[in-house]
Amino acid sequence: MKNNIDIAIVGGGVIGSSIAYNLCGSSSKISLFEKSSVGDSGATASSGGLLRVFDPDPLLSRLAHRSMEYYLDWSKKKLPGDSGVTTNGMLYLASNNYHKTIDFCKSISADYPIDIIDKIDVKKKFPYIKTDNYKYAIYENNGGYGDVKQTAKSYINGAIGLGLDLHENCFIKNIIELNNGWRLFTDNGVYDANYLVIAGGAYSNKLINDLAYNTRTIAIPYFSKKGNTFDISIINEGDKTFSRPFSDSSFLCGSQEFDWIDNPDMKIDLEDRHVKDASLRAVKMFGPDIVWRGGKLGFDAYTDTFRPLFGPYRDNVFVATGFSGRGYKLTPYVSYLASEFILNNYIDQDFIELYSYIGSGD
């Protein structure tokens, strides 16, 4: 027996869940298919969840600023559940000059405070930072981090309340094109959809095999340090790492030991090489006496430009993947852009600039 639906969304990470929530405000019949549980696989499950407006790419900074408006006013904007966001401050230690992005940050500083700090002031304000491998810093008082799983689950619960048909632990066996839509063969039956949204992260190429991204692992070990006092989120461009604290005074520190993989279903575990690499970077940033406490290893889809693959693939397919480790900070606004295009064929300047080559579509 076939089930007829208007829109099928494949992928229950934070991107797919937020798109589902935005679409479910319409009268369309919408189903979301997730191979595990919502928020429990792919980049959503392994993300450090850092939140900031500043990005070396001016476009991504603009989009992140629009998204931050949602995160900071979550309840006022009547978004569902708990945002999962902690605004503990974000410090970006920059090694390069980003004139366009800095100009943008200055232009919004009246509404969203962003301070450009020289090295002398960094050492005064953040004495626990030991690295000297940067030129200047960008500090966002309202930046921080989020519980990405919590955000995804809030979106999905809100969507269910608006009528979403959710299929968790549901594997997509095959997708074939019809004259006016798509047929999905799943563990839960066959579904004919008029429109298809691909938000499967690194799994997306299993559904559309010519998307222009590569999949790489993301290793995030956890550490503790005796006498640790740092309480902000940090991106260290010079030493190529990032960090954020946990409530128990431990912290995560990103590793640059990674692998490019062809199959995101392969079993991957945190290894000694990941821990050693991250430990060296943590010592550079915070000094010695770093103790490993655990961690996680996941993966994400990365593009050559670090901009996502975002936009229509064909007349009845929309792709939102390849966020290259930047998906969480862009989520609220890009999911709004996606839903407005899908439901109303609405395109604004942000959408035009973000839309990129996502495959042949032939």
Helix (H) or strand (E) holding 85: strand 85-86
Residue 69 lies in a domain: no
Residue 65 lies in a domain: no
Question: Do 298 and 219 have their domain in common?
Answer: yes
Tell me the CATH number at 328.
3.50.50.60
pLDDT at 124: 96
| Residue-range definition of the domain harbouring residue 223 | 86-144+214-302
Number of domains in the chain: 2
Q: Which residues contact 78 (CB under 8 A, 6 or more apart)?
A: none
Of 265, 283, 302, which closes a domain? 302
Q: Residue 305 is encoded by which pair of tokens? A: 């430009």
Question: Do 167 and 282 have their domain in common?
Answer: no
pLDDT at 361: 40
pLDDT at 362: 41
pLDDT at 359: 53
287-322 b/e (C-beta count within 10 Å ≥ 16 → b):
eeebebeebbbbbbbbbeeebbbbbbbeebbbbbbb
Residue 71 lies in a domain: no
pLDDT at 72: 98
Question: Do 118 and 165 have their domain in common?
Answer: no
Residue 59 lies in a domain: no
d(C-alpha 70, C-alpha 85), whole Å? 11
Question: Do 16 and 121 have their domain in common?
Answer: no
3-state secondary structure of 16: helix
Question: Do 234 and 293 have their domain in common?
Answer: yes
Are the C-beta atoms of residues 42 and 141 closer than 8 Å to each other?
no
Residue 70 lies in a domain: no
pLDDT at 104: 97
pLDDT digits (tens), the chain, 362 positions = 689 999 999 999 999 999 999 999 888 999 999 999 999 988 888 889 999 999 999 999 999 999 999 999 999 999 999 999 999 999 999 999 999 999 999 999 999 999 999 999 999 999 999 999 999 999 999 999 999 999 999 999 999 999 999 999 999 999 999 999 999 999 999 999 999 999 999 999 888 878 999 999 999 999 999 887 789 999 999 999 999 999 888 999 999 999 999 888 777 889 999 999 999 999 999 999 999 999 999 889 999 999 999 999 988 999 999 999 999 999 999 999 999 999 999 999 999 999 975 654 44
Question: Exposed, middle or buried: residue 153 (CB in 10 Å: 0-12, 13-18, 19+)?
Answer: buried
Question: Do 129 and 243 have their domain in common?
Answer: yes
Are the C-beta atoms of residues 103 and 54 closer than 8 Å to each other?
no
Cα Rg of the chain (Å, integer):
20
Are the C-beta atoms of residues 267 and 291 closer than 8 Å to each other?
no
Question: Do 22 and 94 have their domain in common?
Answer: no
